[in-house]
A and B are shown apart, each in its own frame.
Chain A
């Protein structure tokens, strides 16, 4: 008889709920009972409230159990879960779980399914098809496919990826670089982390395609220091790709060279801004650069550089494999394709939902999120990280679309959605937005460096009920200066959470609605 295959995630959120202990307990229990099993450490399916989710391979497909704690393990064996028998934690066939079944997973096609660091597994699940296709095309043809797909930068700025690549392609230089911005620092976001921990090869493949397209031979992944598990998975995957000839000289027998290295960031939020990131990679303080010159023309070490977010790069392989049109057929308006949305904060069912652009916040919060975790009404939602606007219930019908959000003075950003119940104090959230900006400001421009600290002081006066009308006006003036006078989005967008909190929830600031 073949050993039964058991899948237990190695994803750090699953580990945060005890996945390692569950894996150890299952291995021990099987040994004790003399049962033959093979444990595969897969990525997470992204249904985080069900972690640790254990899956058993059957002829019908994988059957899931969750949330499993180490103490549940003996009872799972007693119930004969190895033969997919019933147990109070049974979830049925994984692929049939409604939450997962309704999704449109393109970038996340393999996440949770494969062993993240197994190259064989990656290739068996359509991996490296995009690169194989790219190697038959010219650089200009690859760039055209990315442009035609409508892919826009998923890091937050939503700049068309193909246009960026085209600029680098058009530059003459002895050295060009591909830099992956993996400094995912926005609260409420974890899709980059999931890709890097749970399907690192797709990022490696995307960067390799970018290198082939624009003629860059060196890539760097600038990774947050808060993600040690991602670092481990990426380094393992890079070593495996190198050993099999997918990285290095003459990749896949072609004339192209592409080398890849992970560089650790060091906890500065501002280094998620591309020019600050480049300074940091060069070994300097992460001070934001003036633009122009654009990084595409004078980037890392002064050379033409593509700087893209993890999700943007990880989406390139499927575009090359299935064609630009296939990807562009998803979405609405000028927001083409899918967005890996992250449901976070005070929600019952938090996790990763990849869907075409166009779904409304309300559907995400209630149909997927299941309402608040505390059972209280959801009062406010922050979309797009600490620099994103707070939205009240009256705006929950806005579809997730770059332009629709822009029309209500909000941002989609990196697709992170943080829900707050009715115990939230929005004046405190506005204060925190200024405080965060003050802690993380690089200090190069005055509106951000000084404005953030003055902002905290003025909000404190408002909270204390001191000269409220005068101080509200002062915050609006200050916000106007930061919005229009800051060098980058940190100072320039801090007014989004501050003013949206003030506009939509004036009662928390002691002013009439």
Chain B
């Protein structure tokens, strides 16, 4: 019963977002962003609704969602931690930082911790290259991140 309510609620939210965006030129990308911002991810169950509104097939919507690294089709943890893997951060020890994060969180990239606190993602450049290694927690960037800094960020996210 509760599931049914949640699904209805989701459909209503989706419908509102779709009607808000569907008349924009090139509406699909802004719409997908709005859905992910609002719901936390782009549910696969939304593809047909989106497709109907924008005159696209379900396959076309699926193709776009899965082309872009930013869009996810499953609910993330309460926080998303992105560790930069690009060259500048590598030159300042990001590989050790990645290993440390995976070990502490006991997850690999694209996975969520068992307490649902943190989803770990790789990112390729946050534009903070003068202060590598860099990490982004939700929408905040952190620079010159040490293993201890990372522990503190994790503890804060779990609190």
Contacts and interface: CB of A to CB of B under 8 A. Distances in A.
Contact of A268 (B32, B68, B130, B143): B68
A48 B130 CA distance: 6
Contact of A281 (B29, B89, B132, B140): B29
Interface string A127-138: 000000000000
B131 A350 contact: yes
B157 interface: no
A269 B130 contact: no
A303 to B, nearest CB: 11
Given A226-B125, A382-B87, A190 B130 contact: yes
Interface stretch (A180-188, A288-296, A487-495): A180-188
Contacts of A421: 91
A164 B140 CA distance: 37
A49 B29 contact: no
B141 A16 contact: yes
Contacts of A286: 67-68
Contacts of A436: 124
Interface in B89-140: 89-92, 123-132, 134, 136, 139-140
A347 B63 CA distance: 41
Contact of A226 (B27, B30, B63, B127): B127
A264 interface: yes
Contacts of B87: 187-188, 345, 382, 386, 418, 429, 432
B10 interface: no
B130 A13 contact: yes
Contact of B88 (A16, A226, A418): A418
B75 interface: no
A301 B25 contact: yes
Chain A interface size band reads 35 or more
B129 A283 contact: no
Given A12-B128, A187-B86, A267-B68, A345 B91 contact: yes
B28 interface: yes
A43 to B, nearest CB: 14
A51 B129 CA distance: 13
Given A16-B131, A264-B29, A269 B139 contact: no
Given A16-B142, A187-B87, A283-B64, A345 B129 contact: yes
Contact of A266 (B69, B92, B130, B134): B69
Contacts of A424: 91
Nearest to B92: A346
Contacts, number: 153
A345 B92 contact: yes
Nearest to A177: B25
Contacts of A266: 29, 32-33, 68-71
A193 B125 CA distance: 12
Interface in A215-266: 224-229, 263-266
Given A187-B88, A418-B91, A344 B26 contact: no
A284 B64 contact: yes
A263 B68 CA distance: 14
B130 A187 contact: no
B144 interface: yes
Interface string A177-203: 000000011111110110000000000
Contact of A418 (B32, B129, B139): B129
A13 B64 contact: no
25 contacts: A12-B141, A15-B141, A16-B142, A48-B131, A185-B124, A187-B88, A187-B125, A188-B86, A189-B127, A192-B127, A263-B26, A264-B30, A268-B69, A269-B124, A282-B26, A283-B28, A283-B54, A285-B64, A285-B67, A301-B25, A345-B91, A345-B92, A382-B87, A386-B124, A416-B129
Interface of B: 25-30, 32-33, 54, 63-64, 67-71, 86-92, 123-132, 134, 136, 139-144
